[in-house]
Chain A
Amino acid sequence: MGRQLKFEIFRYNPEKEGDVPRMQEYTLDETPNMTLFIALNRLREEQDPSLIFDFCCRAGICGACAMVINGRPGLACQTKTKDQPGHLILHPLPVFKLVGDLSVDTGVWFREMYAKTESWVHTNKVFDPTQEEERMDNEVAEQIYELERCIECGCCISACGTARLRDDFMGAAALNRIARFVVDPRDQRTDEQYFEVIGNDNGIFGCMGLLACEDVCPKGLPLQNQLGFLRRKMGITAMKNIFRKK
């Protein structure tokens, strides 16, 4: 208790004529158990109602509040001020389109990703409401869920060197999404079909494997394993394709 926090916040509202990107300073008295959710809302409600940032669940489950906190992408709602220096520097996530100040457009980015990866179970079976459900091994179900825990916060994309250099790089979240369907026995896509989607430099072969993505993922998703798994699988598929073409 008793610390006075200094905030340095990136400001730019593209909808405001003549506005220019800049850093703006604020101060706030720290209270016990203060998180960036509390701090930013207090700043907006008590000092500067023009501040733009996103929160939704404020409980670390929805992914809305990702931003760059003292140089590192993370979730603002689960960042406690007491774990940070008294001087906090906040930037919006790079790579995504800026909406204003600390808010970026993850919605459009991820919707395009669903289209690219065809993020749904591909099957020719038709649901029959009179029948018992198709059986599944519980371990497989849990394995699928482990990969589905991504909250689409965008931290991994922002931390990724390749994604910063290249607009069309799919990023770890998209590759992880593919892995989720690869392990799902309900999805009837073949390796060749997945290869069509990710077997190129925009996909798995563009990844440099430095794993900044896994380091920043707030959900601790095993991105490293998944990237390795896909790279091997797609490597083999590439080989097969080469031989087939001969």
Chain B
Amino acid sequence: MQTYYSDLLVIGAGLAGERVACEAAQNGFKATCLSIVPARRSHSSAAQGGMQAALGNCAKGEGDGPDVHFIDTVKGSDWGCDQEVARLFADAAPIEMRRLAAWGVPWNRVVPGQSFYFKGGEKFEKYEKEENEGLITARSFGGTAKWRTCYTSDGTGHAVMCTMDNRCAELGIDVFDKKEAIALIHDGETCMGAVVRCLRTGQLEVFLAKATAICTGGFGRIYKATTNAVICDGGGHILAHETGVVPIGNPESIQFHPTGIVPTDILVTEGCRGDGGTLLDVNEERFMHIYEPEKAELASRDVVSRRMTEHMRAGKGVKSPYGEHLWLDIRHLGDKHISTKLREVDEICHHFLGVDPRVELIPVRPTQHYTMAGIRTNKDGAAYGLKGLYSAGEAACWDMHGFNRLGGNSLAETVVAGGIIGAKIVEFLKGYETKFDTAAINAEVKRQQERIHDVIHGRNGKLNVYKVRGEMQDALMKGCFVFRNKEGLEECVATLQSTLEKARKVGLVSDGAGPNHELAAALKIEGQVRLALCIAQAALMRTESRGSHNREDFPERNDAEWLNRTLAYWPVGADMPDLKYEDTTPLFELPPGDRGYGGGKIIPADEKYVKERTIKSPVTEIGKKK
């Protein structure tokens, strides 16, 4: 068996993983990264919009700073985040953007003089200052007080991913692709690395390290409809969760986007609605104004997603071989507008639908988009439960997003958290020696070999993995989507319990030889259903609505009872998650208040509790002024 050693093993080579690896390598440690696909194909490269950092260089960003970014982030989280972490993040983001510039990211820059921009269909004028020429500029994004989103044309994630991967090449970091981690090696206390399946040969390999970081991105693919790449399937979460000692933080906290195209759920921008596009139902009639007379199509992401779901449930969806959907209509915006301001939408319609949005309707439906849920870590990025195990990026619940993440904050999180957590790992590695427990290694390898042997030979049963996966995805779409209520969630939990039984009985149809995909799917199905059950059970227990978690039967945000974070453990051999809770944040710079959007009633927290934890901060003042 091939065995590799390094100081740091990073599972996942997206932006977060590679940033962590760079930090270790720069400090003289040997870092190895694993990825299912070549690093640059990681989902980070799909992000187009940009990443937030309060540089305050452009005209509409004037007066911005980490304090304002911090406030936006806490409000955005619906007070579900850890405020110490949000502070670390907001303060470090500008430095990290400059570092990326030094490494080679071609950020768009300030061009002095007069220019125009549009807001709500109206044209406005702005002047960029001469003295700021050539500094990193920013664009506007939802939910922020200032223009703060740094970008490179329409390909921010791609450009930053290229630079980061180049940096890894420069530092001589081993980045292996077509390697999928399938289990952690640990003794219940310390993590020692991972068992990995090579996706070229199908062989198992062992990667040993003093520290291991899971940076495997989100797990949107456990939902049927998602904007995520096909490799965002929870593999990394499953590794940690399966140990029984590492919890998933806030599993019920999943973000949905209103306009994924049908059938492939590729995202079309919110800009369509922002510029005046409308949503139509099966009768080609508008409906959003019925539910939301004031804002109609322009209500916030979660609200529009909920109304669309409601309307389809009322039988007004358009039937298709891929399930029900609604229509997005931008025909009236005209050729000029579509071919300039919505060029990307035009291209997506052309390539993936063969639809001309000037004369045809675009099939859309709400779609899973982002997992705030993740491997629970402390503010150093160290996972709860296992020494030497870390997590960063979308895979982690570091927790700066709480119950809702703001656009532009997740891409920024990958590099900012990667830097901070990378530095903490370096601290950990300094002077740390370990012994690799060969018994634990051999036992884990043997366990995986047996597991593979059993599914290939149908020892546990012969259920089809794709069918079981479909059942899980349907259950989540039905009960755990944008809308949640007691009956729906109870039914979802019940269904998933029987799906879990089935997941334990899958067997391959093919022979599983070499880089076989069916085997990869079969090896993770049980873990995926466990994640699904955590989402459903945590959502059932949380009897309030906060951020992306919307309970029809409990519409208020209940700070009196639910100002906390769910920790979902899965004890080894259990059939249901074990839910525990902890305070959302050890201290408040910004005491709980109104987000200023999205409406909804708030049941206030105990005054004494809040007061005791509120610290003096520049932000309390600004926060109040707002």
Interface residues of A (CB under 8 A from B): 13-16, 31-35, 37-38, 44-46, 48-52, 54-64, 77-78, 80, 82-83, 99-100, 103, 105-108, 110-111, 114-115, 118-121, 125, 127, 129, 131-138, 140-142, 144-145, 148-149, 151-152, 184, 186
Min CB–CB distance B538 → chain A (angstroms):
29
Q: Can you identify 7 A-B contacts, CB atoms within 8 angstroms?
A: A31-B322, A48-B510, A56-B229, A107-B37, A119-B169, A129-B99, A186-B104
A118 to B104, CA, bound (A): 13
Interface flags for B34-45 (1: CB within 8 Å of A; 0: not) read 000110110101
Q: Are A49 and B518 in contact (CB under 8 A)?
A: yes
Taking a contact as CB atoms closer than 8 A, the residue among A60, A111, A149 that contacts B175 in the complex is A111
Min CB–CB distance A57 → chain B (angstroms):
5
Q: Are B108 and A138 in contact (CB under 8 A)?
A: yes
Q: Are B104 and A145 in contact (CB under 8 A)?
A: no
Q: Are A142 and B108 in contact (CB under 8 A)?
A: yes
Known: A56-B230, A125-B102, A129-B98. A99 touches B178 (CB 8 A): yes
Q: Are A120 and B177 in contact (CB under 8 A)?
A: no
Min CB–CB distance A183 → chain B (angstroms):
10
Taking a contact as CB atoms closer than 8 A, the residue among A56, A115, A132, A140 that contacts B37 in the complex is A56
Known: A57-B229, A135-B135. A148 touches B159 (CB 8 A): yes
Min CB–CB distance A1 → chain B (angstroms):
9
Q: Cβ of B107 < 8 Å from any Cβ of A?
A: yes
Q: Chain B residues with Cβ under 8 A from A60's Cβ?
A: 351-352
Q: Cβ of B385 < 8 Å from any Cβ of A?
A: no
Q: Cβ of B153 < 8 Å from any Cβ of A?
A: yes
Q: Are B41 and A63 in contact (CB under 8 A)?
A: yes
Q: Cβ of B511 < 8 Å from any Cβ of A?
A: yes
Q: Top 4 closest A-B pairs, CB basis?
A: A15-B514, A135-B134, A50-B510, A49-B518
Interface centre among A62, A111, A135 (most CB of B within 10 A): A62
Main secondary structure of the interface of B (DSSP, over half): loop
Q: Are A38 and B518 in contact (CB under 8 A)?
A: no
A31 to B518, CA, bound (A): 24
Write the chain A residue with the least CB distance to B175: A111
Q: Chain A residues with Cβ under 8 A from B155's Cβ?
A: 145, 148-149
Known: A135-B135, A141-B152. A15 touches B515 (CB 8 A): yes
Q: Chain B residues with Cβ under 8 A from A61's Cβ?
A: 45-46, 158
Q: Are B104 and A114 in contact (CB under 8 A)?
A: no
Min CB–CB distance A42 → chain B (angstroms):
10
Taking a contact as CB atoms closer than 8 A, the residue among B109, B351, B514 that contacts A52 in the complex is B514
Q: Are B106 and A142 in contact (CB under 8 A)?
A: yes
Write the chain B residue with the least CB distance to A79: B351
> How many residues of chain B are within 8 Å of chain A by beta carbon?
72
Q: Chain A residues with Cβ under 8 A from B262's Cβ?
A: 33
A59 to B351, CA, bound (A): 9
A133 to B99, CA, bound (A): 8
Known: A129-B95, A142-B153. A107 touches B177 (CB 8 A): yes
Q: Are A58 and B41 in contact (CB under 8 A)?
A: no
Q: Are A138 and B110 in contact (CB under 8 A)?
A: yes
Q: Are B169 and A111 in contact (CB under 8 A)?
A: yes
Q: Cβ of B283 < 8 Å from any Cβ of A?
A: no
Q: Chain B residues with Cβ under 8 A from A15's Cβ?
A: 201-202, 513-515
Q: Are B158 and A149 in contact (CB under 8 A)?
A: yes
A51 to B519, CA, bound (A): 12
Q: Are B231 and A133 in contact (CB under 8 A)?
A: no
Q: Are B109 and A135 in contact (CB under 8 A)?
A: yes
Q: Are A100 and B514 in contact (CB under 8 A)?
A: yes
Taking a contact as CB atoms closer than 8 A, the residue among A33, A120, A121, A133 that contacts B354 in the complex is A33
Min CB–CB distance B130 → chain A (angstroms):
12
A82 to B354, CA, bound (A): 9
List B156-213 residues whose CB lies under 8 Å from chain A: 158-159, 162, 165-167, 169-170, 175, 177-178, 199-202
Q: Chain A residues with Cβ under 8 A from B508's Cβ?
A: 49
Q: Chain B residues with Cβ under 8 A from A114's Cβ?
A: 165-166, 169
Q: Cβ of B617 < 8 Å from any Cβ of A?
A: no
Write the chain A residue with the least CB distance to B96: A129
Interface centre among A44, A111, A119, A137 (most CB of B within 10 A): A111
